[in-house]
């Protein structure tokens, strides 16, 4: 059966998350339903990573197995037709080897979190950012974030329902930058690692936002990390600002 890699963009607002759930709208379920319109049978696709309810993707990657040979262009066009009007788009499609796997072949994943800083409510960006009314100290957050880079036990930043075998992960990048956006100043948190714990990125942002507001000192992030206790973590921020931005493979199938 020919295998295809799909690069997928979606707005997470209407969905319970990536993973298929009985009786509820999921991104995986919507794509599998669209595939069944092309080849009537049960389809199961695998993704580079699961996203929670409300989390978006700029470049989620999944793979599917088809019975007939499709040109990647025709397959992506047909899927986009059957995915309407759901806010899901196949933005890339490529034929891959039979043993290529969207999850297990990935080398690293990159997420971006967007935080909007302004007094007025978010209108055009509603559901796409975490809205914070007060300015945050970017330099302080950047200093605090440096304590999280490297290989650590991230128990503090791990959800109680996380299914990962170990809380020890290597964080390769956590950049904090200010962007003067069209709708006001944003803070962008760009995070990169081979894999993540459940709620790890949102826990990072929630804690760093406390540093930015002045309720924590930058060096307190090291203390929080070393506590290895969920109770030491800042509040987990809302999912609306989180995006799966990029997945890296040894050879980019979409190049």
Q: What is the mean pLDDT of the chain?
A: 97
Q: What is the dihedral of CA 59, 19, 241, 93, to 10 degrees?
A: 10
Omega of the bond leading into 6 within 30 degrees of 0 (cis): no
Which residues on adjacent β-strands are paired with residue 51? none
Please compute the mean of the pLDDT values over residues 202-207 and round it to a whole number.
Answer: 97
52 is catalytic: yes
At residue 163, does pLDDT exceed 90?
A: no
pLDDT score, position 161: 86
**Cα Rg, the chain, nearest whole Å:** 19
**What's this model's pTM, rounded to 2 decimal places?**
0.95
Phi, psi (deg, nearest 5) at residue 221: -60, -40
Nearest to 7 by CA among 41, 39, 37, 31: 31
pLDDT tens column, 88-137: 999 999 999 999 999 999 999 999 999 999 999 999 999 999 999 999 99
Write down all domains in the chain, each with its CATH number in brackets.
3-105 (3.30.70.580), 108-246 (3.30.70.660)
Report the b/e string of 80-90 with b at 16+ CB within 10 A. eeebeebbbbb
Which residues on adjacent β-strands are paired with residue 159? none
Quote the CA–CA distance of 195 and 200 in Å, as a whole number: 10
Q: What confidence tier does 160 reach under pLDDT thresholds 50, 70, 90?
A: confident
Distance of CA 48 to the CA centre of its chain: 10
| DSSP 8-state symbol, 236 | P
pLDDT tens column, 24-81: 999 999 999 999 999 999 999 999 999 999 999 999 999 999 999 999 999 999 999 9
Please compute the mean of the pLDDT values over residues 186-206 and round it to a whole number.
Answer: 97
Quote the CA–CA distance of 61 and 119 in Å, as a whole number: 36
Q: Distance from first CA to last CA of the chain, Å, rounded?
A: 23
Burial (0-12, 13-18, 19+ Cβ within 10 Å), 150: exposed
Which residue among the candidates 52, 86, 137, 153 is catalytic per the annotation? 52
pLDDT score, position 244: 98
Q: Detail the DSSP E strand segments found in 38-107.
A: 46-47, 56-65, 88-96
Quote the CA–CA distance of 84 and 66 in Å, as a whole number: 21
Q: What confidence tier does 189 reach under pLDDT thresholds 50, 70, 90?
A: very high
pLDDT score, position 181: 86
The DSSP secondary structure of 28-52, one letter per residue, reads: HHHHHHHHHHHS-S----EES---B
Q: What confidence tier does 217 reach under pLDDT thresholds 50, 70, 90?
A: very high
Structure tokens, 218: 């930058």
pLDDT score, position 171: 98
Farthest CA pair distance, the chain:
59
């Amino acid at each position: 059966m020919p295998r295809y890699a799909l690069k997928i963009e979606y707005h997470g607002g209407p969905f319970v998350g990536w993973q298929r759930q009985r009786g509820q709208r999921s991104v995986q379920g919507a794509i599998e339903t669209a595939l069944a319109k092309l080849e009537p049978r049960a389809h199961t696709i695998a993704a580079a990573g699961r996203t929670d309810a409300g989390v978006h993707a700029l470049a989620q990657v999944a793979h599917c197995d088809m019975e007939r040979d499709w040109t990647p262009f025709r397959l992506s066009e047909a899927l986009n037709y059957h995915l309407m009007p759901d806010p899901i788009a196949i933005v890339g499609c490529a034929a891959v080897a039979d043993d290529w796997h969207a999850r297990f072949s990935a080398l690293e994943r990159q997420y971006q979190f967007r935080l909007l800083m302004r007094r007025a409510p978010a209108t055009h960006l509603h559901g796409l950012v975490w809205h914070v009314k007060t300015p945050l100290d970017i330099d302080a957050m950047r200093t605090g974030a440096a304590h999280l880079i490297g290989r650590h036990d991230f128990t503090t930043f791990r959800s109680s329902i996380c299914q990962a075998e170990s809380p020890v992960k290597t964080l390769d990048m956590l950049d904090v930058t200010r962007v003067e956006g069209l709708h006001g100043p944003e803070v962008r948190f760009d995070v990169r690692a081979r894999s993540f714990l459940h709620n790890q990125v949102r826990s990072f942002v929630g804690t760093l936002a406390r540093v930015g507001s002045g309720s924590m000192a930058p060096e307190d992030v090291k203390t929080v990390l070393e506590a290895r206790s969920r109770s030491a973590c800042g509040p987990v921020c809302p999912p609306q600002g989180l995006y799966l931005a990029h997945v890296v493979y040894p050879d980019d199938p979409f190049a």
